[in-house]
């Protein structure tokens, strides 16, 4: 009789421990899923920024824009025909 009660108590404790483990695991799973969603949103925002920066870089690196900046900011000009020296065959 005492052995049956002790066995029933042990089973109840094991069931309770198992239930608490399931609850803890489920909670941790939800926390990690929320973190994953947050990281996905951050990645998407960074992808948008990367695309914008690539577009900006291609715009700033256009030949005409560079040539115009060289004239305006550095005072550079194309040399006249007599100032050109051809080297090579």
pLDDT of 26 higher than 90: yes
pLDDT digits (tens, 9 = 90+) for 36-68: 999 999 999 999 999 999 999 998 888 888 888
Instruction: Note the pLDDT of residue 86.
Output: 85
Instruction: Note the pLDDT of residue 79.
Output: 87
Mean pLDDT across 8-35:
97
Instruction: Note the pLDDT of residue 46.
Output: 98
Q: How wide is the angle at C-alpha 13 spanned by C-alphas 7 and 8, nearest 5°?
A: 25
Which are the contacts of 71, defined by CB distance < 8 A and separation ≥ 6?
Answer: 77
């Amino acid at each position: 009789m005492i052995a049956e009660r002790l066995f029933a108590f042990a089973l109840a404790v094991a069931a309770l421990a198992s239930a608490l483990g399931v609850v803890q695991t489920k909670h941790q799973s939800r926390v990690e899923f929320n973190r994953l969603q947050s990281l996905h949103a951050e990645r998407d925002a960074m992808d948008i920024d990367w695309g914008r920066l690539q577009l900006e870089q291609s715009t700033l690196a256009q030949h005409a824009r560079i040539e115009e900046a060289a004239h305006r900011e550095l005072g550079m000009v194309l040399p006249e025909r007599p100032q050109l020296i051809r080297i090579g065959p």
